[in-house]
Structure 1
Amino acid sequence: MVIGSLNMDMVVRTGRIPEAGETLIGQEFALSPGGKGANQAVAAARLGAKVAMIGSVGRDSFGAELLEIMCQEGIDTRHIAKSAARATGVASIIVDGDGENRIIVVPGANTELQAKDMERLEEVIREAEMIVLQLETDLGMCEAAAAIAHRHGVPVILNPAPAQELSSGMLAAVTYLTPNETEAGILSGIAVDSMDSAEAAGQALLAKGVQHVIITLGSKGALIVDAAGSRHVPGFPVQAVDTVAAGDSFNGAMASKLAAGSSLEEAVRFGNAVGALAVGKRGAIPSLPRLAEVERFLEETEAAQ
């Protein structure tokens, strides 16, 4: 069960990011379905998981398109509301010549999901095998969803993006926290710029109540920090074309594997592979690989080693 955002991404490609007050001629513009919640839901569904989503879109063309895409991917959309008051969320994304991105999100209808909605959907949350959350929606709603899941013994994956400070109560309800280096630094108060500092940040987050911390490190893979110690799970170096949805693909993949009974190390390695494939393609949802592609990639990688 993914609880989170659905956005339409407006992607501009340019050789470099403009300076303040500067106008550049871009190379390409595209509309691409996305939103961290939708990305993670589709990522898990394409990898074989049975996925349902709780979210909100507007009664507009972007909302209709996003719902249609979710349905096409086999995702249960019964709990995606249609707001009459707010437009579907959008994200403005600039991608530079190195494939790096800068994103501004206007949440729109995503903000209409509130804590009271989670209370109303408590039975739905209780029946899930795994809850996946991000922070592009109302923080109080995320806290309520995590608390309900925790109360019923349902594991919670929290991808803490966009980065912001979180309460100790929220963190104590999280089973798997998946920050990148920047997010880990904000949450822990420890700047993450090395493997040692990543481990220190992970330990600080464990002290706040999180059960497992998985810090994503881009092409270097990910670092797991939990009561068993720390383990580095190497990544799969590839040429990045577009890093949009790299973290979302990782989270969806990890969730699908954990829900299927894999170990955390296996799930993280699988997530690394999915992320590597996603950055090799443009767009958010269009870049998300299917299970056969991931399995082929892992087989070819192992054969080459």
Structure 2
Amino acid sequence: MAAPPTIVGIGEILWDLLPSGRQLGGAPANFAYCSHLLGSRAVVVSRVGEDQLGGEARKLLLRKGISDRFLQADAALPTGTVHVSLNPDGQPQFGFTQPVAWDSLEWNDELGKLAWSADAVCFGTLAQRSSQTQATILEFIRATRADALRVFDVNLRQQFYSAGMIADSMMAESIVKLSSEEVPRVAALLNLPVSDMYLFCSEVIRRFRLRLVCITRGQNGSILVDAVSTDEHPGFRVQAKDAVGAGDAFTAGLVHEFLRGSSLAAMNDTANRMGAWVASCEGAMPQPPKAGLAAAIAHLERT
């Protein structure tokens, strides 16, 4: 039996301060957790403070089956937090504290070894708000093997992005994922066509030499476009609890199927199932039911 793939989420880990209480999150950590549920060797690369919240983050990751080996410790800066409010549809609005520990992620030889062993790595824009963490993330990407899958999950947050940051990140990647709400902002920053989603995706693929572009549409599913084909999925009907982490779960499902050599339709199906399941739960790292993850996502109804 082949060894499970090594999948890395690098960037922020933080506590989501939700109306219902505190939940561990951060897009790269959420992605890694869902990749772990799908059977991969998942690794979180981030930094926490030497404080109570940092200790609790480590303990919770370990309880969920994920090592804290690559969670760096910061004696000066606190563990990250974000205040999350929800609109009537359960969609989150974020207010991030700064500076925090993950703003000071440091490059070291151990990260270089991990990068070379990674089959896939995922990151976004938020953790690149500090020059130090941005440099570490891009160094990690450069240290991966040529055949590794590099995923840029855009995740625009507040003012923490720029045209240069987005372009540099796309240049380094195999897959770019963004939401339909982010398309106009990215198109304006990079002078890309915005009148048609498929034309936008095709131009991004051409300009940045990507293997795949994904546009998510919340409860209305997603669009996948590669150099030769497209696939559209309507999404699954669920009662959303808070939707925090649903996009990260989607990315985990997408990467899981991509590494298996699946069709665009299969990638879209698993990705939407994962996103819908997390949206129906509280928090970004829900525990699967006793029947298991497969049972939880198997009987969802298409929109």
Residue aligning to 1:15 = none
Matched, 1:110 2:109: no
1:250, distance to aligned residue in structure 2 (A) = 0.8
1:160, distance to aligned residue in structure 2 (A) = 0.8
Sort the Cα spacing of 1:143 and 1:294 in 2 relative to 1 into closer, same or farther, 3 A.
same
Runs of 4+ aligned residues of structure 1 deviating over 6 Å after TM superposition are none
1:109, distance to aligned residue in structure 2 (A) = 0.5
Query: Contact 1:113–1:141 at 8 Å: present in 2 too?
Result: yes
1:135, distance to aligned residue in structure 2 (A) = 2.3
Residue aligning to 1:121 = 111
2:258 partner SS: helix
Count of matched residue pairs: 281
1:102, distance to aligned residue in structure 2 (A) = 0.8
Residue aligning to 2:38 = 47
Query: Contact 1:158–1:177 at 8 Å: present in 2 too?
Result: yes
> How far apart are the structure 1 equivalents of 2:231 and 2:261?
19
Residue aligning to 1:271 = 271
> How far apart are the structure 2 equivalents of 1:90 and 1:264?
36
1:118, distance to aligned residue in structure 2 (A) = 6.2
Query: Contact 1:134–1:159 at 8 Å: present in 2 too?
Result: yes
> Gaps spanning 5+ residues in structure 2: where?
1-7, 129-133
1:290, distance to aligned residue in structure 2 (A) = 6.7
> How far apart are the structure 2 equivalents of 1:118 and 1:207?
34
1:132-183 deviation digits (Å, cap 9, x = unpaired): 112221333333322332x533111111112533354431221111111122
Q: 1:153 aligns with which of 126, 147, 153?
A: 147
Q: 1:144 aligns with which of 136, 139, 143?
A: 139
* Letter matched to residue 246 of structure 2: A
Query: Contact 1:91–1:104 at 8 Å: present in 2 too?
Result: yes
Q: TM-score, normalised by structure 1?
A: 0.83
Q: 1:7 aligns with which of 7, 14, 25?
A: 14
Q: TM-score, normalised by structure 2?
A: 0.83
1:207-236 deviation digits (Å, cap 9, x = unpaired): 331321011111121111120132212311
> How far apart are the structure 2 equivalents of 1:272 and 1:148?
31
Pairwise mapping of residues 1-305 of structure 1 onto structure 2 (< 5 A)? Answer: 1-12=8-19, 29-107=20-98, 108-114=100-106, 117=107, 121-138=111-128, 139-149=134-144, 152-162=146-156, 164=161, 165=163, 166=165, 168-189=167-188, 197-209=196-208, 210-286=210-286, 289=288, 293-301=292-300
RMSD between superposed Cα atoms in Å: 2.6
1:202, distance to aligned residue in structure 2 (A) = 1.1
Query: Contact 2:9–2:121 at 8 Å: present in 1 too?
Result: yes
2:241 partner SS: coil
1:185-215 deviation digits (Å, cap 9, x = unpaired): 22233586xxx72212212311331321011
> Gaps spanning 5+ residues in structure 1: where?
13-28
Query: Contact 1:273–1:294 at 8 Å: present in 2 too?
Result: no
> How far apart are the structure 2 equivalents of 1:291 and 1:148?
39
* Letter matched to residue 27 of structure 2: K
Sort the Cα spacing of 1:207 and 1:113 in 2 relative to 1 into closer, same or farther, 3 A.
same
